Amino acid sequence: MLLVLGMIAGAGLWMIAAMAVAMVVALGAYVSSQWSLTVTAHREELPESGRDIEVLVGSRVPICVAVTNTGRLPVAWVLAEDLLPRAATVEVKEHEDLVSRTRVMPLTVEGPRLAVLALLPGQTKHLRYSVHCRRRGYYQIGPTVLETGDPAGMFRRYRLGTPPLFITVLPRIELISNYDIGSRRPMGEIRIRANVMPDPTRIRGIRQWQIGDPMRSVHWAATARTGTLHTKIYEPSSVIGATIVIDLHVATNPDRHEPLRTDLSVTAAVSIAAALLEAGEPFGLATNGRDAADRVRSEGFRGDHRIGDFFPMRNSVGSATAMRRKSDRLRPVLIDVDRGPQHLKEITRTLARIERTDGLTLSEFLIDTEPRLSSETTLLVIMQEAPPETVASLVGLSRRGWAVAVVLNADSIDEYTRLAAPLLAEKIHVSHLLDRDSVRDVCREQVVR
């Protein structure tokens, strides 16, 4: 417009101003596009596993992002930011009473994960920080977003510098003091109270032979010594293998208890699995929860959900890689019964990544997976709430010959008593999981209140 007016009016200054503006705009567009194309980023100091890292709770993971200018032009500025999911840095209430209140973040960042850099041709600068993993889970670190533009601020360019890095934080394993929950399969390692079928490998004593005693149980040495028939007395026993079932439906795991009660259920499950490994017994896992790794593979990784309307381009990057919050996948997570440390490691990894879902309820899950569950082990169900349909499913399994035990993850004795009453009336083993200290005794004996 200035150029046309200058030509009509014969004003040379207007024409000069128009040409200057055009040159500034063209130069800014060229410079911003070149800077965006020539600035690259990659992650350094990664372990051999590549994009997946496994650490224990309390570990610190060093993160290093190298930003390099591969072009021939110097880059005046580039903003490099390594994104983190908002849920991973939100404070979680761990304990609250009248005196103290403690809050824990799943991930604590130590060091800057955002920097504005100026790069000469061929120069590399690093973005270094560490992540303190304070809770179990499956966490996404990244992607790295690179933002640059012309010096006049008329153009902005955005690109993904590096793909995300995923960290699996394994849950703690508590020492189980004693495990006294047996299945209905006879001739095992632990003694049971009900004399359903005696174990011929465990002799408790001898007594005089009575009418009806089988001849194969006669103690011939005592009979020869005393001249009177004596018979052996056996201890009833059972194997102690278990299929650990965890209820992770959102309806029975309310938000007001999350994620602390879910983490407590996971800690109890992995501790029980470790105790069964030490005993040399089989164990498996079944849950209606969702594997976070499977969720990422099917839905993509998270982008940046915290960008406002002032940065529409960066917001489009986040929305393009955003992940759906609601899952309609109904496939349960099942790990068959087995033995060995590798089997425990597989279950520990799965429990570290498991999360709540709105798919199958526990009653629907038990109906769907009953043919695939091991009938030779105890169904050890860990749950927070016991609605009538869940109680009916557990009672039905018990009456059909399954050995069923329940661990109620309740935050008070009154809540436990209310939930345990209908289960105890059906003679189902019920334990109370109150806090982390109660994990070591959760399977010790039946609790009747």
Structure confidence by residue, pLDDT tens digits, 149-192: 887 778 888 888 888 889 999 998 888 766 555 444 433 444 44
The answer on pLDDT for 146 being more than 80 is: yes
Domain 7-84+110-170 matching CATH 3.40.1000.10: the answer reads no
In this prediction, residue 252 carries a pLDDT of 92
In this prediction, residue 10 carries a pLDDT of 66
The answer on pLDDT for 256 being more than 90 is: no
Element (H, E) at 206: strand 198-208
Confidence tier at 41 by pLDDT (50, 70, 90): very high
Contact 348, 354 (CB under 8 A): no
Domains of the chain by residue range = 7-84+110-170, 201-238, 242-289+332-441
Q: Do domains 7-84+110-170 and 242-289+332-441 have the same CATH topology?
A: no
Select from 3.10.129.10, 3.10.20.30, 3.90.1300.10, 3.40.50.410 the CATH code of 242-289+332-441.
3.40.50.410
Q: What is the mean pLDDT of residues 389-404?
A: 91
In this prediction, residue 324 carries a pLDDT of 41
Instruction: At 156, give phi and psi (nearest 5°).
Output: -130, 140
The answer on pLDDT for 99 being more than 70 is: no
Mode of pairing for the β-strands spanning 101-104 and 92-96: antiparallel
Q: Mean pLDDT score of the chain, rounded to an integer? A: 79
Structure tokens at 382: 């860990």
Instruction: At 258, give phi and psi (nearest 5°).
Output: -100, 150
Q: What is the mean pLDDT of residues 348-353?
A: 94
Which of 132-146, 167-181, 206-220 comes out lowest in average pLDDT?
167-181
163: cis peptide before it, omega within 30°? Answer: no
Give the Cα separation of 295 and 416 in Å (integer): 33
Contact 66, 42 (CB under 8 A): yes
Give the Cα separation of 274 and 175 in Å (integer): 8
Alpha-carbon distances, residue 143 vs 160, 162, 348, 432 (angstroms): 7, 6, 26, 42
pLDDT per residue over 45-78, tens digit each?
665 545 678 999 989 999 999 999 998 889 988 9
